[in-house]
Structure formats: structure tokens, C-alpha cells
Amino acid sequence: MQLKAYIHTTCPYSHKLLETLENAGFGEVTQIINTADHPFSPLHAGVLSVPVLYAGENMIVSGSFDTEWLDKYLSLFLPHLPDAEETFRLFISAALDNISTASFLYLYPEKVEAILESPEYLLTTTKLFRVVRPSDGEIVQHIRKVVTVTLPGFMQEKQHLFHKIIAVNYLRDLYWNGQLAADGSASRFPENMPEDFPRWLSTRSATGRMGIDPLANQGDLGEKAGRAWGYLREHSAELTELAIRTARIQD
């Protein structure tokens, strides 16, 4: 999304607009067109009075305007790209909020490119489509670079986050299928992992756009599923309570 302002040096509302943009942090990233220096530009843009402010292709200010309203509108956007730490946090929060992407990254972190190749997904889930500058293409490249560099270390240090989302979704499925009572004791879940759990995990990573990888290392799948199952058993009581509570919200 880009901001473009048409102003005139003798117009008090134009100065008010520039001040509002500056105070909100958008002064340096807004394209300013002074109609005193470019008298024909507003005609081609359909501008009949100043000031005018475009947000993308939408004219959101024309002439006098409500400063409080504009401040609230601009608060929805970001002047600049966030740093690498915040960018990765936005990406991984979205990934962990969805069982398909979470289980896919857990099983196949080396194939993160399957997710990074979708600009629409990256811009929407990270909410970085709200950044005013730079262009969408540059934003996507920024996300790709940050994720590629940061994900391997994160996967080693934070596997428990993936174990939790996997376990809760598995328990929720059991509840919806009538196979889970409100009993989270360890005895409810045997030490030996059920045969259906790795298959369930593999299928979950294939939901929607992911697709099952026919070349997946089944031994690796069993090992990773086993770690997730161990986490489920260790935290069975709290996870069962969470799964049932969230399942009932969606009933």
C-alpha cells in the first residue's frame, strides 16, 4: 500500500495534512506532489481540490478532513518494515496458528520454500501488506530472507511449540469423534504411540495447499511423531482441558 498526497503551498488544509502525516510517522514515506510545481498532475489523477490523500488506489482525503479520523486510519498501517526479529515473530505466529502449516514445518522444515513461494500467504498472514514502503515484492523478499536464516535455529530450540499445537489438535479431533472424555491422566494415553498418530500427523500436514510428500522419510516421521506423542503424554491433563475447551467453543 502506498500513500500519495496532492497539496498546495498556500492551502492551510494541505499544511494540516502534512503535519498529520509527519506526526503519525508517514512524512518520509508519503509521495508528496505539490500542485504549485506540477499543475497538470492533479488533472490526470482526477484531483479537483487539495489536499488529496490516496492510500493505494483509494482517495481517502479530499479537501478539509477530520484529523482524528485520519490518525485512526493511519494507525492501521506501518510506515516501514519491522526488523528481522519482529518479522519472524509475525511469520511463525501465523504458522503456529494453523495445524496444517505447523505440522508441515515440524515434519519438513527443510521444505519451507513450499510456504515461502506464496506472496499472498506471506503478506496476509504476517499482515505486512499494511506496510506503506517499500513495495510488496521487496517486503516478500525481506520475509523470505528472514525466515530462511532464522527458522533452522528456531526449530531446534522451540520444538515444544509445535508439539503443543499438534497435541491439542489431535485431542480435539478425538473429542469431536467421541473418543475423548474429560480425563487427561497419563494412563489415558499409552506409552506406546498409537499406530494412527503418525498417519494423522502426516495427513494434517497435507490439508489444504500443502500436499503429502511421497518422498517423505517414514523413519523420520515416526521419530518426530514419537516426540510429539511424548509431549502429549507428559502434559496430558492440561492439553486435554485446553482441547475440550476450545472444541466446545467451535461446536
Cell match 510488496: residue? 136
pLDDT digits (tens, 9 = 90+) for 95-141: 999 999 999 999 999 999 989 999 999 999 999 999 998 989 999 99
- Please give the pLDDT value at position 186: 56
- Please give the pLDDT value at position 209: 46
Q: In 3-state terms, what secondary structure has residue 6?
A: strand
Please, what is the average pLDDT of the chain?
Answer: 88
CA-based end-to-end distance of the chain: 38
Distance CA 207, CA 163 (A): 18
Averaged over 152-158, what is the pLDDT? 96
Distance CA 229, CA 239 (A): 12
Per-residue pLDDT for 215 more than 50? no
> Which of 85-94, 172-181, 184-193, 232-241 is predicted least confidently?
184-193
- Please give the pLDDT value at position 123: 95
Per-residue pLDDT for 145 more than 50? yes
Averaged over 214-225, what is the pLDDT? 71
Per-residue pLDDT for 213 more than 60? no
- Please give the pLDDT value at position 181: 72
Q: How confident is the model at residue 218 (pLDDT cuts 50, 70, 90)?
A: low
Cell match 479431533: residue? 173
Cell match 500542485: residue? 35
Question: Taking CA 234 as the corner, what is the angle to CA 231 and CA 240, rounded to the nearest 5 degrees?
Answer: 85
Sheet (strand 31-34) strand order: 31-34, 3-7, 52-55, 58-62
Give the architecture-level CATH label for domain 3-74: 3-Layer(aba) Sandwich (3.40)
- Please give the pLDDT value at position 217: 53
- Give me the count of residues in the chain: 251
- Please give the pLDDT value at position 199: 87
- Please give the pLDDT value at position 214: 46
pLDDT digits (tens, 9 = 90+) for 163-182: 999 999 999 998 888 887 76
- Please give the pLDDT value at position 246: 87
Question: Taking CA 108 as the corner, what is the angle to CA 102 and CA 111, rounded to the nearest 5 degrees?
Answer: 105
- Please give the pLDDT value at position 203: 85
| Cβ–Cβ under 8 Å, residues 198 and 221 | yes
Question: Taking CA 199 as the corner, what is the angle to CA 125 and CA 208, rounded to the nearest 5 degrees?
Answer: 30
Residue ranges of domains in the chain: 3-74, 84-96+109-150, 160-250
| Cβ–Cβ under 8 Å, residues 108 and 174 | no
Q: Over pLDDT 90: what percentage of the chain? A: 65
Per-residue pLDDT for 11 more than 70? yes
